[in-house]
Amino acid sequence: MKHYYTKGIGLKTLLLLTTFVFVFGACKKRKAYNAEDGQDLVDVTDMRSQTDLVLADANEAISNQFFLRGKSASSEGSAATATNCAMVMDSSLIYTGKLIFNYIGSVCDNLKREGQVVVSIVNYPTKKWKDKGAMLQITFVNYVVTNAADGRVMKINGSMNVTNISGGTWYELRYLNQSNLVQTISAADLAITFDKAYLVTCNMERRVTFGLQGTTINAFDEGTAVQNNNNNVDCWGADRNEKTFTNLIDSPIYWSSKCSASRSKSGEVTLKVDGKYFDLKGTYGTDIDGNAVSVNDCAYGWKMSWSLRNNTKHRVFAY
């Protein structure tokens, strides 16, 4: 009898422990669900939009410099210094295949940009940017972006390589009827500091396809890497808490020169973070309430959502 009594106590203890573990785990997940602030996806979105914005600056600048672009039939141009709202370009080293972008702190499209970016054509002058397979190295030197809407700050140091897959430049799109332009971006261990304190390391692999509609340059971002058995990955690395993250582009991210590369018009992503109980979903191109806006308009921001069991929460972020 004693034997069976002990066995019964053991089964009851095991059942109680199992119940406790289940309830404790459920409470832990619920607490994480309620406390989620989406910071990881905000950081990834800022990293992608800022590298796209500098890519747009580089394409615009080089397309206006036939020394770097490679002279096309009927093309004209010079090595004159170019500027935009936030940047003054130094073209003094243009004959070595290099341009220097000095960002002067002006606020444009809610962004204050400071610091320097160096753009160099690899193997110049043998290679010009319009050549198929040409490579552009873009180096960030204390490139700092402050969002004027909410005050968040990011600083980028490191380099990314851009490869001209299709051949041609924005010049050929605008003036020589080239149908599209395809470039790929790759980067390893970009060092990105957020809010002057939190370091994130980022790797990137994505394809950008450009087209022209009227006078507007349109672009579509797609992830091209495979990481942790996930396809369509465009960005991965270690977040503010040194947790591994992997970002997937579920549908191409669409941006245009009309609204700036930092204000995506549409697209969807999924962010997976090691140890997080749920994925973070991002939908770009929304109004202030998180509703999709027409791609003909410039969006207010983007919506993030996350789900646990049958519950879903949302947050909307301004560009």
pLDDT tens-digit readout, 126-151: 999 999 999 999 999 999 999 998 89
Cα 194 to Cα 155: distance, rounded to the nearest angstrom: 7
Q: What pLDDT score was predicted for residue 75?
A: 47
Q: Is the pLDDT of residue 104 over 50?
A: yes
In percent, the amount of the chain with pLDDT more than 90 equals 82
As a whole number, mean pLDDT of residues 293-305 equals: 95
Q: Is the pLDDT of residue 159 over 90?
A: yes
| CA-wise closest residue to 212 among 158, 263, 172, 161 | 172
Q: What pLDDT score was predicted for residue 13?
A: 66
Cα 93 to Cα 88: distance, rounded to the nearest angstrom: 14
Q: Tell me if 263 sits within 8 A of 298, measured CB to CB.
A: yes
Q: Tell me if 113 sits within 8 A of 87, measured CB to CB.
A: yes
Q: Is the pLDDT of residue 316 over 50?
A: yes
Helix (H) or strand (E) holding 142: strand 135-147
In percent, the amount of the chain with pLDDT more than 70 equals 88
As a whole number, mean pLDDT of residues 34-59 equals: 96
